[in-house]
């Protein structure tokens, strides 16, 4: 069974721009969660989608948003990028157990 895939793997943006990251979950998984990982804050939960509905949300500003499509694929959007948004963005799918993708490395200049 194929694992969680994320695109793109690397991204460079400038302050003020917006970005969209994509995640394809493991086939059959309906839950998709997003995390931000930085050296200073570690791995932090952003939000979770289940059957196209946001089920849980972490403590991030409204600039961070997401959605899930009927095929369970999910996208995450960050608007008005700030330098501090530079991070590894991880997507995970699963039920009782989460399986993580390889991440998207976002650099904001």
DSSP state, 51? Answer: T
Cβ within 8 Å of residue 77, ≥6 positions away: 18, 19, 20, 21, 64, 65, 66, 67
Between vectors from CA 11 to CA 10 and to CA 14, what angle results, nearest 5°? 155
Residue in 78, 81, 92, 106 binding other proteins, rule: CB under 8 A:
92
Cβ distance to other proteins smaller for residue 20 or 98: 98
Residue in 7, 57, 71, 84 binding other proteins, rule: CB under 8 A:
57
Question: Does residue 16 belong to the site contacting other proteins (CB under 8 A)?
Answer: no
Binding region for other proteins (CB under 8 A) out of 14-22, 65-73, 75-83, 93-101: 93-101
Of 101, 100, 81, 96, the C-alpha closest to 17 is: 81
Contacting positions for other proteins (CB under 8 A): 4, 31, 33, 42-45, 48, 56-58, 88, 90, 92, 95-103, 105
């Amino acid at each position: 069974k194929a694992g969680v895939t994320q695109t793109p793997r690397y991204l460079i943006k400038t302050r003020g721009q917006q970005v969209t990251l994509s995640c394809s979950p493991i086939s059959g998984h309906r839950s998709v969660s997003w995390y931000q990982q930085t050296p200073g804050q570690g791995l932090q939960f952003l939000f979770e989608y289940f059957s196209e509905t946001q089920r849980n949300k972490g403590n991030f500003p409204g600039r961070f948003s997401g959605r899930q499509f009927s095929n369970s694929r999910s996208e995450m959007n960050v608007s008005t990028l700030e330098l501090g948004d530079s991070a590894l963005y991880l997507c995970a799918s699963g039920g009782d157990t989460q399986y993580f993708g390889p991440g998207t490395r976002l650099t904001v200049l």
